Amino acid sequence: MSTRKNWRPARSIDTIRAEVNAAAPKRSTRSDGTVGDLAHSNRDSDHNPNEAGVVRATDLTHDPAGGLDCNQLMDELAAKLGTHPALGPGAYLIWNRQIISTDRLAEGWRRYYGVNGHTKHCHVSVARRASGYDSTQRFGVLVPIVRLPASPSLRGLLEDELEAWLHAMPLDSRSDAGRAAWAKVGRLRDAIAKYSVAQIERQIAELDALVRATPLRKPKTLAGRRRAAYHARQVLRIVQEKY
Ligand SMILES: [Zn+2]
């Protein structure tokens, strides 16, 4: 059994806490916790060090006024279950009497029957394996909403890149994924016109995933795919560097 003295948080736990603290420096930490207190140690084992002396869980206090809204954080993390390395097998989230886990992702959020309903703090447990729990990849949560200024030239630039991207990518629009991708393009145009950088980034990521899943019209379109990837990066670069 590991002793309490000899433990460290998983690196991904440090990462998520750093991101949350950066986004909400004045937040309350009243119900925060990493290593197990007595109450946790009986029923919430990820707060106790694993065999390697690593704690794979953290509690974060719900403090919307202080900048940490657990509803938002849980939504954002749940969307990354199974894709972020730290949110691989073994990872789960608990908030407000509900739980969602990577291992049972298809069931979505389900009722949590634990003694502590987690109504004042949300709980994050990261992946079981070291390659997951010690990942230092950013989560990209609680990113401050930055409104795009109404700069016609910048919007024009973005739209040009988007256009080039789409022309380079000969999508088969008869496939379901192809139709979904074209619909997404419309929403991305709207996003460029009126939404925030974070929303645009999300739309681009979703479009990129759809594009990857879409069969191409012709087999000899590798060059097109490369060009498309280039323009997609340009769109992202413009969004990220300018704001
Ligand atoms: Zn907990």
Residues 125 and 160 in one domain: no
Q: Is 3 part of any domain?
A: no
Q: Is 147 part of any domain?
A: no
Q: Is 220 part of any domain?
A: yes
Distance 202 CA to ligand 1 centre (A): 29
Q: Average pLDDT per run of 10 along the chain, which is 243 residues long?
A: 70 96 92 67 71 93 93 92 96 96 94 90 97 95 60 62 62 66 66 64 68 57 61 66 54
Residues 109 and 198 in one domain: no
Structure token pair of residue 60: 């974060």
Length of the chain in residues, anyone? Answer: 243
What is the structure's pLDDT at 219?
A: 45
Domain tally for the chain? 2
Distance 70 CA to ligand 1 centre (A): 13
The whole model's pTM is what?
0.61
What is the structure's pLDDT at 220?
A: 45
Residues 21 and 86 in one domain: yes
Amino acid at 178: G
Distance 106 CA to ligand 1 centre (A): 23
Residues 119 and 169 in one domain: no
Distance 57 CA to ligand 1 centre (A): 7
Distance 145 CA to ligand 1 centre (A): 28
Max distance between CA atoms of the chain, in angstroms, equals 62
Inter-CA distances, 55 with 15, 49, 121, Å = 13, 4, 18
Q: Is 85 part of any domain?
A: yes
In 3D space, the residue among 56, 146, 48 whose CA is nearest the CA of residue 93 turns out to be 56
Q: What is the residue range of 97's domain?
A: 8-133
Distance 238 CA to ligand 1 centre (A): 39
Q: Is 142 part of any domain?
A: no
